[in-house]
Structure 1
Amino acid sequence: MNEEVQFVLDSTKEAMDAAIAHLEREFLKIRAGKASPAMLSSVLVDYYGSQSPLSQIANINTPDGRTISVQPWEKGMLQEIEKAIMNANLGFNPMNNGDLIIINVPPLTEERRIQLTKQAKAEAEHAKVGVRSARQDANKEIKDLDISEDLQKNATADIQDLTDGFTKKIDDFLSKKEAEIMKV
């Protein structure tokens, strides 16, 4: 196979892998009944005038399956962290005991499970859009290469095979996540 074509295929695969990796990170943020430090990964705290991720200014643990504890490295940041968790609109009610913040993760209601499933589907669709975009870019690059028509057709078919494989991977991730969310 032509070296240029192989380069296009490799870069396309990298872009599609990135879409899958992003989907996995987003799925970590969607809780499925069990407490996880990743649930707070989107929380930004006003740390002396700049927005900083919570994980950079506090230690986040899960002592059990229903509790998240947040222990700031500076006690003066307790109120700021508590406010940031409330403003993140995650549906949590943090409790401040003077040393650390304790968050009880409530069990999911049926309505909330359905919302989370919709959110997971939306994230999967975003990943599919990323994969299709990588396919489109690759097809354009192949068309711009100075190669024979047969080689172009073979490369386009290879790109479509890659796309189909990654789309199936995304569907598999989604069905696993949906099952995890809907499990009571």
Structure 2
Amino acid sequence: MLNEIKKDAQARMAKSVESLRHDLTKVRTGRASTALVDHLRVNYYGSDMPLTQVASVTVSDARSLTITPWEKQMVAAVEKAILASDLGLTPNTAGTTIRINLPALTEERRRELTKLVHSEGESAKVAIRNIRRDANQQAKDLLKEKAISEDDERRFETEVQKITDDAIKDVDEVVKAKEQELMAV
């Protein structure tokens, strides 16, 4: 019973770390990446579709992305989605090809993005701590039902704390790596 709770907590903590990694791919660094526009949704004949399903997105060089819609009439809709996004980028259209040039990040913008990365990391840590709390509460409930002994419960809490410490260390490493990537000029 306790092993199942521990495995579940460990899996959920790993998902939290992976979710943080995924969320941080959207944070713009100095280099172009297709992950910057992966979350964009485009109005495709009345329904919102992910950009990657209506166009091909490629990195043409270190500072620009090229988006080629599969249908000519989708060019305007893709441009509209880019302009409406929180990216703060302006698309340049030439025929059916849309180019997005990424300007170099200023020092001030890098610091703002670093603060954003830290806040995302803190959110992930809070989620991990909540998972720990839930697992410990389940163990306490088992103790009240007399399904486990107090020693088992203490041992379990120690093991869950070790798993939590490992997950928080992973979050710190992810945040530190992204911060270094942001501050590299």
The TM-score with structure 1 as length reference comes to 0.96
Query: Counterpart of 1:164 in structure 2: which amino acid?
Result: D
Mapped partners of 2:111, 2:104: distance in 1: 14
1:171 aligns with 2:168: no
Give yes or no for contact 1:42–1:88 (8 Å, CA) kept in 2. no
Give distance in 2, aligned partners of 1:153 and 1:13: 17
- Once residues 55 and 135 of structure 2 are traced to their aligned partners in structure 1, the CA distance between those partners, rounded to angstroms, is 43
Q: Which residue of 1 aligns with 2:83?
A: 86
Counterpart of 1:8 in structure 2 is 5
Q: Which secondary structure state, in structure 2, belongs to the residue aligned with residue 70 of structure 1?
A: strand
In the alignment of these two chains, the number of paired residues is: 181
Q: Which residue pairs with 2:108 in the alignment? A: 111
Letter in 2 for 1:114: R
Which letter maps to 1:65? Answer: A
**SS in structure 1 at match of 2:66:** strand
**1:35: which partner in 2?**
32
What residue ranges of structure 2 are gaps of 5+ in the alignment? Answer: none
Query: Aligned residue for 1:127?
Result: 124
Cα shift readout 1:29-71 (whole Å, capped 9, x = no counterpart): 1121000000001211111111111111110000111110001
Q: Give the aligned residue type for 1:139.
A: N
Aligned to 2:157: 156
Q: Aligned AA for 1:127?
A: A
Separation of aligned partners in 2, 1:52 and 1:114? 33
- In the aligned structure 2, how far is the partner of 1:53 from the partner of 1:90? 16
Q: 1:155 deviation in Å? A: 0.2
Distance 1:160 1:17 in 2: 14
Q: TM-score, normalised by structure 2?
A: 0.95
Cα RMSD for the two superposed structures: 0.8
SS at match of 2:59: strand
1:61 is aligned to 58
Q: Shift in Å at residue 98 of structure 1?
A: 1.4
Q: Percent identity?
A: 40
Query: Where in structure 1 are there 5+ consecutive unaligned residues?
Result: none
Query: How far apart in 2 are the matches of 1:41 and 1:129?
Result: 26
